[in-house]
Amino acid sequence: MEKILDNFDTLCVDDNLIGIKEKILNNKRLGFKEAEMIMNTRDLNSLGLLAKYKKFSKDGKKIYFVVNRHINPTNICAISCKFCAFGQNKKSPDAYEMSIDHILSLLDEELKEIHIVGGLHPDWKFDKYLEIIREVNNAIPTAHIKAYTAVEIDWFSQISGYKIEEVIVKLMEAGVDALPGGGAEVFAPEVRKKICSPKTTGDSWLSIHKAAHKLGLPSNATILYGHLESKYDVIDHFDKLRSLQDQTNGFFAFIPVLFQPYNTRLKHLKPFPFSYDLKVHALARLYLDNFPHIKAYWITLGEKAAQVTFHYGVSDADGTIISEKIIHDAGAKSEVGHTRDFFVNMIKDSGYVPVERDALYNELKIYE
């Protein structure tokens, strides 16, 4: 594995990265300063090699994927985030609510992970959200359920009067196996205020995940990037996640989510260059040394760019998803879903070994 970095010093044109390489080879943690150097580098290929080295030291050439489906039971939402094109007012002609029968009609035995998130419906009781989980769990007990972001959990606590811990326990009793990473956006309060006030604060998001981990419920974490955040905000976000993971070890994967502007109240923002996506993914792998996986969210990156991130520290390709809506409402150009074969070919085509997993990262099949 050291071979990856054999000719590093000769090929690298950024002296800062040569210093960082020594830390990585010695398994030393990166600090703020090194993270800043990474975000400022112009030698992307060398950065990719460092991230690849770190990824290889964790899981070699394996890239994981899952046969999963996204389900969004309603898009009616009591809050209106500026970056979101999915949430609708109750009176909007585009507002919808799925019946339980509709939700069940979307399921099949092939699924290994069912990802359920949606709007903060102003009229639905917490019981309704629990019923969805129970019904899905009864219908396909062989699939894991990854459901409801910290923002939804915060909302359930407000509408039910239960404490956060009580909400989490009830969700686990109903059949939730893991929490998705959504709702983290950017923890930096000033940016958060501009893109999603009055949503759950960054501190609350962190404390809800901490509570979940303490109760034995694993989760993922995200960052929404490519809007108003600075490089400093990205590093600060990573730093807070790394500290929490040191305490709980409850995160599976970190997922950079690239902002899609169409149909949103931030549509005037100019896109960042592709080099920024690569730096965010590589820095995630190098800085979040205690996270098992960095996930390429191909829905926002697009399939081709996602393939490139496999060479920038990514070890997870998410999954089939089947029907993505939240990001496509905001103009994502990717397909809404893909087949298992698509992932096997996409991962092999990049020189890696596809590994089909379940939601808890148990290996189901290695496609040598």
Which among 207, 156, 154, 213 has a CA at the least distance from the CA of 179?
A: 213
Q: Looking at residue 353, what DSSP letter applies?
A: E
Q: Which is nearer to ligand V47, 21 or 328 (CB)?
A: 328
Q: Which is nearer to ligand V47, 65 or 259 (CB)?
A: 259
Show the CA angle centred on residue 88, arms to residues 136 and 189, nearest 5°.
Answer: 95
- Total binding residues toward ligand V47, as defined by CB under 6 A: 22
Q: Which is nearer to ligand V47, 252 or 352 (CB)?
A: 252
Residue 93, preceding bond cis, omega within 30 degrees? no
Residues 20-59 binding ligand V47 (CB under 6 A) are: none
C-alpha distances out from residue 216 to 69, 182, 213, 249, 284, Å: 24, 19, 5, 10, 24
Q: Which is nearer to ligand V47, 18 or 305 (CB)?
A: 305
Q: Determine the interface stretch with ligand V47 among 82-90, 130-138, 281-289, 342-350 (rule: CB under 6 A).
A: 82-90
Identity of the amino acid at 350: S
Smallest distance, ligand V47 to C-beta of residue 234, A: 14
Q: Which is nearer to ligand V47, 53 or 187 (CB)?
A: 187
Strand 316-319: give its sheet, edge to edge: 316-319, 62-66, 353-357, 363-366
Which residues are CB-neighbours of 192 under 8 A, at least 6 positions away? 185, 186, 199, 201, 202
Residues 304-323 binding ligand V47 (CB under 6 A) are: 318
Dihedral Cα 80, 86, 92, 95, nearest 10 deg:
-120
3-state class of 333 per DSSP?
coil
- Tell me the residue number closest to ligand V47, measured at CB: 182
Which among 287, 224, 217 has a CA at the least distance from the CA of 252?
A: 217
Q: Which is nearer to ligand V47, 85 or 206 (CB)?
A: 85
Smallest distance, ligand V47 to C-beta of residue 6, A: 35
> What gap in Å lies between CA 182 and CA 119, rounded to an integer?
12
Smallest distance, ligand V47 to C-beta of residue 220, A: 3
Smallest distance, ligand V47 to C-beta of residue 26, A: 32
Q: Which is nearer to ligand V47, 116 or 255 (CB)?
A: 255
- Should residue 202 be labelled a site residue for ligand V47 when binding is judged by CB under 6 A? no
Residues 284-303 binding ligand V47 (CB under 6 A) are: 297, 300
From residue 116 to residue 145, what is the string marking binding to ligand V47 with x (rule CB under 6 A)?
------------------------------
Q: Determine the interface stretch with ligand V47 among 52-60, 81-89, 136-144, 302-310 (rule: CB under 6 A).
A: 81-89
- Contact assessment for residue 344 and residue 354, using Cβ atoms and an 8 Å cutoff: yes
From residue 241 to residue 270, what is the string marking binding to ligand V47 with x (rule CB under 6 A)?
--------------x-x-xx---x------
Smallest distance, ligand V47 to C-beta of residue 228, A: 13
- Contact assessment for residue 322 and residue 69, using Cβ atoms and an 8 Å cutoff: yes
* Binding residue (CB under 6 A) for ligand V47 from 75, 222, 334, 350: 222
3-state class of 357 per DSSP?
strand
- Contact assessment for residue 221 and residue 178, using Cβ atoms and an 8 Å cutoff: no
Q: Determine the interface stretch with ligand V47 among 39-47, 77-85, 99-107, 282-290 (rule: CB under 6 A).
A: 77-85
From residue 163 to residue 182, what is the string marking binding to ligand V47 with x (rule CB under 6 A)?
-----------------xxx
Smallest distance, ligand V47 to C-beta of residue 54, A: 21
Q: Residue written as tokens 């580098």?
A: 41
Which among 347, 240, 246, 355 has a CA at the least distance from the CA of 290?
A: 246
Q: Which residues bind ligand V47 (CB under 6 A)?
A: 83-85, 180-183, 185, 220, 222, 224, 255, 257, 259-260, 264, 297, 300, 318, 326-327, 330
